[in-house]
Structure 1
Amino acid sequence: MDLQTHKDHILENGFTVINNIFSDKELEKIDEVLKNIDASNENFRKSEDLFAIRQFLKELPEIKDLILNANMNAIIHEIFGEKYMAVKSIYFDKPEKSNWYVAYHQDLTISVDKKIEIAGFGPWTTKKNQFAVQPPLPILENIYTIRIHLDDTDENNGALKVILKSHAKDIYRPETIDWNVETEEICKVERGGAMIMKPLILHGSNRTTNGKKRRVIHIEFSDMELPGELQWSERLN
């Protein structure tokens, strides 16, 4: 893996795709843990279009060492930096018949442990005692997101589409996209590979049309400490 090339691609375009991070044997072990999930847990969201687990690494601690294998740790250290830690994790399972469509957006919030008034932080949302807030821009610009794919994913089963270089344009409202100047790219990822992106890149996904499921583990990383008494709610060194 030429990680410097991938690092350059992220800095310039806002994302990169690295395949073959996990072996077949490692993927089988991950599948095994996911098969035995208790879906009745109240932190898990279940509908016919989507099954999701928030605070994924906290909810399934036995999966952490399977996910953070040697290849993944090398990627985190070489591309992000030595002090990066996981600060948010979600598991998405979009079933074969899912018609789940996601409009273009940026990821503008972080998960924190409490709600307190701090200059530059807001607006806030609270769901089931979980707090999310939009932080100042430098905190968002510092985050890297890894999306690990447990199924082959392309334009026919909801692969992410991105607008190249949009991560470098601060807060970018989707309704102001100028399609005369912007370039869209579909990010195909193989089972056992990952898409790495900056949360400020405009991204979305189309509905599944080929009847194939798409399972993704989404993990966000930062090396910043939050100000005052505020802490990352899912911090995992």
Structure 2
Amino acid sequence: MNLSNLENYKSHILEYGFTVINGIFSKEEIEQITSILLHTDTSKENFRKSEDLFAVRQFLKEVPEIKSVVFNENIKRIIKDIFGGKYFVVKSIYFDKPETSNWYVAYHQDLTISVDNKTDLPGFGPWTTKQNQFAVQPPLNILENIYTIRIHLDDTDENNGALKVIPKSHRKGIYRPETIDWTVEAEEICNVEKGGIMIMKPLTLHGSNRTTNGKRRRVIHIEFSDIELPETLQWSEKMNR
């Protein structure tokens, strides 16, 4: 993969809120990631299992041996050239949408960050707590600063839950899905090849449909920021690469 000029991808993200770059992981690297996942103990509380979805919260903490494969030279280059040299990991999740999944996700923005405790700070709220994990909606500038990388371990299209997005919606602040004006907005499906990535701004309205083609969809979702939170608060998954 020739990543000599990432400016086009960067400008596409800034204007439209997302981009797709295929060929970031080799077949061998995807096999390596899959092998590590196969041999992971899934009995811990951060592992969620149902017929429609298998998910791992705090993925890079729970499966630390995967980091060296996930942060290959291509990903490091993308983080440095598109995001910026000071960006670090702030959140990671693994999703496995099985072949028969009826799981679908309605249009939404990613409005919360994961933090280490609950504390009263101006501009932060509302708060949620799940399994001793704290999430909060931060001030808008923090959300606008985040980049998300979604690494695809399977070919993904509209028939097995590829993300659908509303281009440019990331530039409209908090945009409630029930207020989407379809006379002015257009939907775009983000097909991604196995070994490819989608990069997205979390304020981009996005959702996904049920699986209809009997094909699996596995995704590693990692969020990055270069903002330090107020002193009394820390990113719960802060991790320098």
Q: Give the TM-score range, shorter chain.
A: over 0.9
Offset at residue 42 of structure 1 (A): 1.3
- The 5 Å alignment of 1:1-237 reads 1=3, 2-237=5-240
In 2, distance between residues paired with 1:201 and 1:182? 12
In 2, distance between residues paired with 1:25 and 1:184? 34
Structure 1 unaligned blocks of 5 or more: none
In 2, distance between residues paired with 1:49 and 1:33? 22
* Corresponding residue SS for 2:149: strand
In 2, distance between residues paired with 1:25 and 1:152? 15
How many corresponding residue pairs? 237
The one-letter code sitting in structure 2 at the alignment partner of 1:57 is L
Q: Which runs of 4+ in 1 moved over 2 A?
A: none
In 2, distance between residues paired with 1:97 and 1:172? 32
Identity %: 76
* Corresponding residue SS for 2:207: strand
The one-letter code sitting in structure 2 at the alignment partner of 1:132 is A
Offset at residue 228 of structure 1 (A): 2.3
The one-letter code sitting in structure 2 at the alignment partner of 1:11 is L
In 2, distance between residues paired with 1:195 and 1:27? 16
TM-score, scaled relative to structure 2: 0.98
Structure 2 unaligned blocks of 5 or more: none
